[in-house]
Structure 1
Amino acid sequence: MFRFIGIVFLLGTGVAQAQTGSASEPVRYVGGISADPQVHEGRLRYAIGVESRQTVRANRTRPEEADGFGWTYNHGSDLCYWKGKFYQEYLSNPVDEHIAPGQTLLVTSTDGRTWTKPRVVFPPYSAPDGVKLPTGSTGYMMHQRMGFFVAPNGKLLVLGFYAHAEEPFREGGIGRVVREMREDGTMGPIYFIRYTSHTSADGVRWSEKNTRYPFYRSSKDAGFIAACEALLANRLHTLQWREEDNGLDGFYRNNLDTALDLQAFNWYHRKDGKLVALWKRSKAALSEDEGATFSLPVKVPTLTMAGGKQWGQQTPDGRYAICYNPIETDEYRYPLVVVTGDDGILYDHMLLVQGEVPPRRFFGRWKDFGPCYMRGIPEGNGRPPGNDMWLSYSMNKEDIWISRIPTPVRYAVQGDVLDTFNNLTPGGAVPDWNIYVPAWAPVTIVDRNGEKCLELSDRDPYDYARAIRVFEEGTTVECSLKIKPAQANHGSLEIDLTDQYGNRPVRIRFDDRGKIVALDGTVEKIAGTYEPDREYAVSIRVRTGLTAGSFDLSINGKPVLEKAALAEAVKSVERLSLRTGPYRDLPNRKTPNEDPHPPLPGADEPVRMASFLVDDVVVRVKR
Structure 2
Amino acid sequence: MKAGYPTTILNLATLVKIIAINCVIFLIIMSCQISKAQTGSENEPIRYIGGTHIDPFTHEAGLRYAIGVENIQTFRANRTHPELSDGYGWTYSHASNLAYWNGQFYQQYISGEADEHRSPVQTMLITSKNGKDWSFPKVIFPPYKAPEGVKIPEGSTGYMMHQRMGFYVAPNGRLLTLAFYGHTEDPFRENGIGRVVREIYKDGSMGPIYFIRYDSQTNWNESNTTYPFFKKSTNKGFLEACDSLLKDKLMTLQWFEEDNGVDGFYTFNNSEQAFNWHVRKDGKIVGLFKHSFASLSNDGGITFSDPVKVNSLVMSGGKMWGQRTEDDRYAISYNPVDQSEYRFPMAITSSDDGILYDDLLLVQGEVPARRFYGIWKDFGPCYMRGITPGNGNPPGTDMWMTYSMNKEDMWVSRIPTPIKYKVDEDITNDFENMDITGHVIDWNIYSPTWAKASLIKENNGNQCLQMKDMDPYDYCRAIRVFEESKVVTASFKLKVKAMDTTQFDIDITDRYGNRPVQISFDTDGYIKAANGAKIMSLQKFEVNKWYSFKINYDTRGLGFYSLAINDKTVADNLAAVVAVKSAERISFRTGAYRDIPSRKTPNEVELPPLKGADEKQKLSSYLIDDVFIKQIF
- Judged with a 3 Å threshold, the aligned counterparts in structure 2 of structure 1 residues 177 and 396 are, in CA distance, closer, same or farther, namely same
Q: Which runs of 5+ in 1 are unaligned?
A: 1-7, 200-204
Higher helix share: 2
8 Å CA contact 2:500, 2:620 repeated in 1 = no
- Are 1:416 and 2:426 matched, yes or no? yes
Could you say which residue in structure 1 is the equivalent of 2:472? 461
Could you say which residue in structure 2 is the equivalent of 1:351? 361
8 Å CA contact 1:490, 1:513 repeated in 2 = no
8 Å CA contact 2:502, 2:592 repeated in 1 = no
Q: In structure 2, how many angstroms separate the alpha carbons of the residues matched to 1:135 and 1:255?
A: 30
- Shift in Å, 1:208: 0.7
2:548 to 524, 537, 556: 537
Residues 320-347 of structure 1 deviation map (CA, whole Å, 9 limit, x = unaligned): 0000000111100000000001000000
Equivalent residues, number: 606
8 Å CA contact 1:73, 1:364 repeated in 2 = yes
- Are 1:256 and 2:269 matched, yes or no? yes
Q: In structure 2, how many angstroms separate the alpha carbons of the residues matched to 1:300 and 1:359?
A: 32
Counterparts of 1:236-385 in structure 2, within 5 Å, are: 236-252=250-266, 254-257=267-270, 262-385=272-395
8 Å CA contact 1:195, 1:207 repeated in 2 = yes
SS in structure 2 at match of 1:16: helix
1:72 to 76, 87, 91: 91
SS in structure 1 at match of 2:222: coil
8 Å CA contact 2:558, 2:578 repeated in 1 = no
8 Å CA contact 1:31, 1:349 repeated in 2 = yes
Could you say which residue in structure 1 is the equivalent of 2:224? 210
Q: In structure 2, how many angstroms separate the alpha carbons of the residues matched to 1:294 and 1:162?
A: 27
1:514 to 501, 510, 525: 525
Could you say which residue in structure 1 is the equivalent of 2:33? 16
2:57 to 38, 53, 67: 38
Counterparts of 1:222-237 in structure 2, within 5 Å, are: 222-237=236-251
Counterparts of 1:122-133 in structure 2, within 5 Å, are: 122-133=141-152
- Shift in Å, 1:291: 2.1
8 Å CA contact 1:58, 1:399 repeated in 2 = yes
Letter of the 2:179 partner, please give it.
G
- Are 1:59 and 2:78 matched, yes or no? yes
8 Å CA contact 2:498, 2:619 repeated in 1 = no
Residues 179-233 of structure 1 deviation map (CA, whole Å, 9 limit, x = unaligned): 000111110111000010112xxxxx11111111111000010110010010011
- Are 1:121 and 2:140 matched, yes or no? yes
- Judged with a 3 Å threshold, the aligned counterparts in structure 2 of structure 1 residues 326 and 136 are, in CA distance, closer, same or farther, namely same
SS in structure 2 at match of 1:281: helix
Letter of the 2:531 partner, please give it.
D
- Shift in Å, 1:46: 0.1
Q: In structure 1, how many angstroms separate the alpha carbons of the residues matched to 2:607 and 2:499?
A: 34
Q: In structure 2, how many angstroms separate the alpha carbons of the residues matched to 1:148 and 1:218?
A: 21
Q: In structure 2, how many angstroms separate the alpha carbons of the residues matched to 1:99 and 1:255?
A: 29
Q: In structure 2, how many angstroms separate the alpha carbons of the residues matched to 1:576 and 1:150?
A: 42
1:137 to 156, 169, 173: 156
- Shift in Å, 1:488: 5.0
Residues 88-123 of structure 1 deviation map (CA, whole Å, 9 limit, x = unaligned): 000000000000000000010111111111111101
Q: In structure 1, how many angstroms separate the alpha carbons of the residues matched to 2:29 and 2:120?
A: 60
Structure 1 range deviating more: 125-134 or 321-330? 125-134
Residues 348-392 of structure 1 deviation map (CA, whole Å, 9 limit, x = unaligned): 000000000000000000000000000000111111110100010
SS in structure 1 at match of 2:291: coil
Could you say which residue in structure 2 is the equivalent of 1:486? 497
Q: In structure 1, how many angstroms separate the alpha carbons of the residues matched to 2:29 and 2:373?
A: 56
Residues 476-523 of structure 1 deviation map (CA, whole Å, 9 limit, x = unaligned): 100011000013564321000000000000000001121101000011
- Shift in Å, 1:425: 2.4
Structure 1 range deviating more: 357-366 or 164-173? 164-173
Q: In structure 2, how many angstroms separate the alpha carbons of the residues matched to 1:600 and 1:428?
A: 34
Could you say which residue in structure 1 is the equivalent of 2:397? 387
Could you say which residue in structure 2 is the equivalent of 1:564? 574
- Judged with a 3 Å threshold, the aligned counterparts in structure 2 of structure 1 residues 533 and 277 are, in CA distance, closer, same or farther, namely same
- Shift in Å, 1:309: 0.3
- Are 1:166 and 2:176 matched, yes or no? no
Counterparts of 1:187-202 in structure 2, within 5 Å, are: 187-199=206-218
- Judged with a 3 Å threshold, the aligned counterparts in structure 2 of structure 1 residues 530 and 359 are, in CA distance, closer, same or farther, namely same
**In angstroms, what is the RMSD of aligned CA positions?**
1.2
- Shift in Å, 1:293: 1.7
8 Å CA contact 1:282, 1:303 repeated in 2 = yes
SS in structure 2 at match of 1:79: strand
8 Å CA contact 1:497, 1:504 repeated in 2 = yes
Could you say which residue in structure 1 is the equivalent of 2:453? 443
Q: In structure 2, how many angstroms separate the alpha carbons of the residues matched to 1:10 and 1:353?
A: 44
- Shift in Å, 1:424: 1.7
TM-score (norm 1): 0.96
8 Å CA contact 1:489, 1:514 repeated in 2 = no
- Are 1:156 and 2:175 matched, yes or no? yes
Q: Which runs of 5+ in 2 are unaligned?
A: 1-24
SS in structure 1 at match of 2:389: coil
- Judged with a 3 Å threshold, the aligned counterparts in structure 2 of structure 1 residues 483 and 255 are, in CA distance, closer, same or farther, namely closer
SS in structure 2 at match of 1:394: strand
Structure 1 range deviating more: 289-298 or 370-379? 289-298
- Shift in Å, 1:9: 8.8
